[in-house]
């Protein structure tokens, strides 16, 4: 109900958007989840040292135009941007995420788009001896670049950065052409042309929307469609771009500055200018003697290794690098590096390293295991003559000291026997020499249009992950290499992970297909991988590199089922078992490489040999995933894999009514199976451009069946309320299912599988539609996110119910590094809220283990005497001491499905307090999954007023009030002072009652 109103009035209070909304009006609303990115030139100006502007100039300040192939559309444009976004700003199209625009705007994909701007404002004051370097940090994707009428390059890799010396073109333009032009070819049409070649090898696997072409294009794979998102196949100069001028006769900026201005630059790019461009930077911290496959010696010295890729107009025979950590009062002193030639057309790599005693720095830990300690590193490149012009380049970057190891070796036989571990190989992570339980999710691209994402939006998603107890995010291999900072990547990802203390499992961009091996592909992929591995090396949050997503299992199946299957297996081995493995391990030595996200592990690490299907029956290898859309099996533990590590598992749900308001254009669309709603269900995918997705009824039916089996079926006299409750109920089921699986996998830490990892699919949404996410596109938390915040608690209690033999096992699980002691209270209630019975059980849980505190068989022995299973439920609560603090956790057990439980009208009363606090009281019966929604235009989460922990979707019991506070994100909320009356409360009772 609305506070002071009812659920049905929610839709009336927030009617759907009109059929046409201007770009300005639409993008100004936070409930749409999209903020207009601040003009990049403003950002640059805010960060720029005073005298660097003359040397490093952003192309975002130029007057860009965008036109299509035949010139019928010519509009102002931006950089960074993508064609859809500039067409939106010009009023040519409406917001791409509205309605069925993913279908109606396909014409944009089928056209070629050209970006053009006059370079004169950046080149008119160049000195005669200056060199002008054009720097693109990302072009999406197939493009011809011309400058002043001269062809510069043809590019075809979205994931590479490009640098070109364009001096000779700028000083002698053709026919007074002073423009920089990036002519983009339709990636779709390019893919059709490539696959039409007689020598093109087509993958024998299925696909999503734009089928069969993405394997040939080094571009975000999900741009061509996926089962959780649209296929806009965008194009544009999607990351920042710059013109850097180098002048041998002019001193470096630091030498021209006053003493107060002579501080190191805050970024390698900002240190460029004078005579040197710092094109690439790698800072890797490891233990002396450590490799990507070895166990780090925890008492060994730290090895700090720095590599710079530079271009220079001044040669140097005896340059040096100096690495300083001011907080530690540590410096390397000048370290000699290779000579620097005069070259602006090729990159010279300079490497230097020094050691630091183990005990000097504090270590970086994920947030739930310690402090994510970071330090400032100042890196100074000095040319051979310290008094010569352009003799010093200096910048500061941040990193931390940690070891992270992916343990993949066989268990010691004696240890396995003593601990009751099923034979096979290990597969888990260790941080700073200690095994830990990995809790987290998988991330996908944050929006179909990368160029409009902001650091604030991404930070909210990452902060939300941390608030829910996650310590690792898997950067899915079908998306994009996530950026390190705004200046080069448009928004910040890895540096925020470093700061917040959450690991990022990184992947190369290959996903769910078999990739043909040819010289062109390998030549394009090699610099892509090297550039990204070098860049990400400095981030202590990086946990490993995987070669791609889910491909190993695909190629094993193809090898077993197709007559020429060995051909595809050989290609996979060449690409993922050799080529990519060798590149990654050449560029880093501090994290592991695995061939694939889901893998059977290895036969050997040295030499690297993938296990494939070479398995001994009864042994456990590698990691696993689970997707079972038969909702009747959602809580059947025998269908859950017994794996060392679960890197993917999930079930889909609908976004909230609020998210649907952002994109539905007609009142008729607000129905669970309306054409527009169903068209956004891409599971299973169409496998073609057929619209709407002919397979959507399968996905819709899976969600429908799940709700009908396990929850009261939504059906009221108000159609909008019914739709809202249907959407919310799919989220409730999703949370119930995922919480059950997480509890099972966490319990596995103390079972034969010795499971030490659970990563839910998935964290974020790319648009408003059916998906596996726990956070909606706008940043609104789904029920699952609160469910994960609860079950990712360090110490949890959970009731494992097996209906086949009517067995209830109550287990306490801990992921702490020390033994935990406490007490569990088990309390029976009926649905009217009457207390029936209670008991208290003490427990001790060993480190990274579980303890069975109660096991009962037969339902008659489980439920209280003289009560029916449909009338009662069990409240489980623990209090424990861990790390010198008191920890509590609660769970619920219902002996029957909530679809058949005899629920009672809870008559929820809400009392509002200061600072958006809400006290909820059940005046009638128990309200399972009591839920608060914050209004449109707000972004934030609900927290328990006493613990400060996320709290929503709880059982509200008469006589036991709950007080929660809404904690807003003021940077993302457009409604900064929401009216408490606009908050909505609902429970399962509202599925069938107004």
Catalytic residue numbers read: 550
* Nearest CA among 744, 749, 774 for reference residue 760: 774
Q: Which residue has the tokens 């061509």?
A: 224
Residues in contact with 188: Cβ distance below 8 Å, sequence separation at least 6, in sequence order = 109, 110, 210, 213, 224, 233
Contact 715, 993 (CB under 8 A): no
Task: Report the distance separating Cα 395 and Cα 378, nearest Å.
Answer: 6
Task: Report the distance separating Cα 713 and Cα 706, nearest Å.
Answer: 10
From start to end of 326-419, where are the E strands?
330-331, 335-336, 343-356, 375-382, 392-399, 404-407
* SS3 state at 834: coil
Task: Report the distance separating Cα 329 and Cα 686, nearest Å.
Answer: 60
What does the radius of gyration of the chain's CA atoms come to, in whole angstroms? 29
Contact 552, 599 (CB under 8 A): yes
Please state the φ and ψ torsions of residue 903, each to the nearest 5 degrees.
-70, 155
From start to end of 148-301, where are the E strands?
150-155, 162-165, 179-184, 241-246, 276-287
Give, in order, the Cα–Cα distances in Å from 674 to each of 231, 364, 561, 669, 681.
20, 50, 39, 5, 11
Helices (H), 420-505: 455-467, 486-489, 494-500
Contact 406, 292 (CB under 8 A): no
Residues in contact with 627: Cβ distance below 8 Å, sequence separation at least 6, in sequence order = 648, 649, 650, 651, 761
Give, in order, the Cα–Cα distances in Å from 684 to each of 101, 142, 225, 680, 694.
20, 29, 12, 11, 9
* Nearest CA among 330, 289, 324 for reference residue 306: 324
Do you know the residue count of the chain? 994
Please state the φ and ψ torsions of residue 913, each to the nearest 5 degrees.
-125, -170
Q: How many CB atoms neighbour CB 450 within 10 A?
A: 27
Categorise residue 757: left if φ over 0, alpha if ψ from -120 to 50, beta otherwise: beta
Contact 127, 250 (CB under 8 A): yes
* Nearest CA among 105, 176, 184 for reference residue 138: 184
Q: 277: which 2 tokens? A: 């461009």
Residues in contact with 580: Cβ distance below 8 Å, sequence separation at least 6, in sequence order = 508, 525, 529, 547, 593, 595
């Amino acid at each position: 109900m609305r506070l002071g109103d009812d659920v049905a009035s929610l839709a009336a209070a927030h009617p759907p958007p009109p059929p046409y909304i201007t770009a300005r009006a639409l993008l100004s609303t936070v409930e749409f989840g999209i903020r207009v990115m601040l003009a990049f030139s403003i950002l640059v100006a805010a960060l720029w040292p005073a005298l660097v502007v003359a040397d490093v100039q952003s192309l975002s300040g130029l007057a860009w135009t965008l036109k299509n192939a035949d010139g019928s559309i010519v509009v102002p444009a931006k950089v960074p941007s993508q064609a859809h976004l500039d067409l939106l700003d010009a009023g040519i199209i409406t917001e791409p995420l509205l309605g069925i625009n993913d279908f109606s705007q396909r014409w944009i994909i089928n056209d070629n788009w050209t970006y053009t701007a006059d370079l004169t404002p950046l080149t008119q004051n160049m000195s005669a001896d200056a060199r002008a370097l054009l720097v693109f940090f990302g072009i999406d994707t197939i493009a011809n670049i011309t400058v002043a009428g001269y062809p510069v390059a043809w590019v075809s890799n979205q994931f590479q950065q490009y640098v070109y010396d364009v001096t000779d073109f700028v000083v002698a333009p053709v026919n007074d052409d002073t423009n920089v032009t990036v002519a983009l070819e339709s990636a779709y049409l390019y893919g059709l042309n490539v696959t039409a070649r007689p020598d093109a090898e087509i993958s024998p696997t299925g696909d999503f929307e734009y089928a069969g072409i993405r394997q040939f294009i080094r571009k975000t794979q999900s741009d061509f469609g996926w089962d959780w998102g649209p296929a806009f196949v965008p194009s544009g100069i999607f990351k920042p771009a710059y013109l850097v001028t180098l002048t041998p006769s002019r001193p470096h900026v630091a030498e021209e500055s006053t003493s107060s201005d002579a501080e190191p630059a805050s970024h390698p790019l900002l240190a460029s200018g004078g005579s040197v461009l710092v094109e690439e930077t790698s800072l890797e911290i490891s233990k002396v003697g450590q490799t990507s496959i070895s166990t780090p010696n925890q008492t060994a010295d730290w090895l700090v290794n720095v590599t710079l890729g530079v271009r220079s107009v001044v040669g140097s025979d005896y340059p040096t690098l100096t690495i300083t950590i001011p907080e530690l009062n540590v410096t390397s002193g000048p370290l000699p590096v290779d000579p620097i030639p005069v070259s602006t057309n090729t990159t010279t790599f300079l490497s230097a390293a020094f050691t630091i005693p183990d005990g000097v720095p504090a270590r970086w830990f994920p947030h739930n295991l310690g402090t994510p300690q970071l330090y400032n590193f100042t890196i100074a490149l000095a040319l051979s003559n310290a008094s010569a012009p352009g003799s010093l380049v200096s910048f500061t970057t941040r990193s931390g000291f940690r070891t992270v190891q992916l343990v993949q070796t066989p268990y010691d036989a004696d240890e396995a026997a003593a601990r009751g571990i099923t034979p096979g190989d290990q597969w888990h992570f260790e941080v700073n020499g200690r095994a830990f339980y990995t809790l987290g999710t998988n991330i996908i691209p944050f929006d179909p249009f990368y160029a409009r994402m902001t650091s604030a939006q991404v930070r909210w998603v990452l902060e939300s992950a941390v608030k829910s107890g996650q310590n690792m995010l898997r950067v899915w291999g079908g998306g994009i290499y996530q950026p390190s900072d705004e200046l080069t990547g448009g928004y910040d990802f890895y540096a925020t992970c470093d700061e917040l203390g959450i690991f990022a499992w990184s992947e190369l961009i290959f996903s769910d297909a078999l990739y043909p091996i040819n010289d062109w592909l390998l030549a394009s992929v090699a610099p892509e991988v090297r550039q990204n591995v070098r860049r990400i090396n400095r981030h202590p949050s990086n946990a490993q590199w995987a070669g791609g997503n889910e491909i190993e299992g695909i190629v094993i199946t193809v090898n077993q089922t197709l007559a020429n299957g060995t051909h595809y297996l050989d290609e996979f081995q060449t690409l993922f078992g050799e080529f990519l493995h060798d590149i990654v391990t050449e560029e880093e030595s501090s994290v592991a490489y695995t061939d694939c996200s889901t893998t059977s592990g290895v036969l050997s690490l040295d030499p690297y040999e993938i296990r494939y299907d070479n398995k001994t029956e009864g042994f456990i290898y590698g990691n696993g995933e689970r997707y079972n859309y038969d909702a009747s099996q959602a809580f059947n533990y025998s269908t859950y894999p017994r794996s060392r590590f679960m890197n993917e598992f999930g079930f889909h749900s609908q976004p909230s009514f609020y998210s649907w308001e952002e994109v539905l254009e007609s009142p008729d669309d607000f129905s669970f199976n309306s054409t527009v709603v169903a068209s956004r269900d891409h599971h299973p995918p169409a496998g073609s451009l057929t619209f709407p997705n002919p397979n959507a009824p399968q996905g819709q039916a899976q969600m429908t069946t799940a709700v009908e089996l396990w929850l009261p079926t939504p059906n009221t006299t108000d159609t909008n309320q019914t739709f809202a409750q249907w959407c919310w109920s799919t989220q409730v089921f999703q949370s119930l299912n995922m919480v059950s699986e997480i509890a099972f996998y966490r319990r596995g830490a103390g079972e034969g599988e010795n499971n030490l990892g659970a990563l839910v699919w998935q964290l974020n949404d790319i648009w408003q539609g059916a998906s596996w996410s726990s956070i909606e596109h706008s940043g609104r938390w789904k029920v699952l996110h609160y469910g994960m915040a609860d079950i990712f608690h360090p110490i949890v209690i959970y009731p494992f119910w097996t209906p086949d033999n009517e067995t209830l096992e109550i287990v306490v699980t801990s992921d702490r590094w020390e033994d935990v002691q406490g007490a569990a209270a088990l309390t029976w209630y009926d649905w009217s809220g009457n207390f029936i019975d209670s008991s208290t059980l003490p427990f001790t849980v060993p480190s990274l283990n579980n303890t069975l505190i109660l096991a009962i068989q037969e339902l008659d022995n489980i439920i209280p005497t003289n009560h029916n299973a449909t009338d009662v439920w069990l409240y489980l609560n623990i209090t424990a001491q861990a790390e010198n603090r008191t920890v509590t956790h609660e769970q619920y057990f219902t002996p029957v499905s909530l679809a058949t439980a005899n629920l009672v009208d809870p008559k929820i009363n809400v009392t509002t307090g200061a600072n958006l606090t809400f006290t909820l009281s059940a005046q009638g019966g128990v309200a399972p999954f009591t839920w608060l929604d914050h209004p449109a235009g707000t972004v934030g989460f609900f927290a328990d007023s006493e613990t400060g922990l996320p709290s929503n979707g709880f059982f509200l019991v008469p006589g036991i009030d709950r007080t929660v506070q809404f904690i807003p994100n003021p940077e993302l909320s457009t409604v900064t002072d929401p009216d408490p009356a606009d908050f909505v409360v609902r429970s399962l009772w509202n599925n069938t009652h107004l």
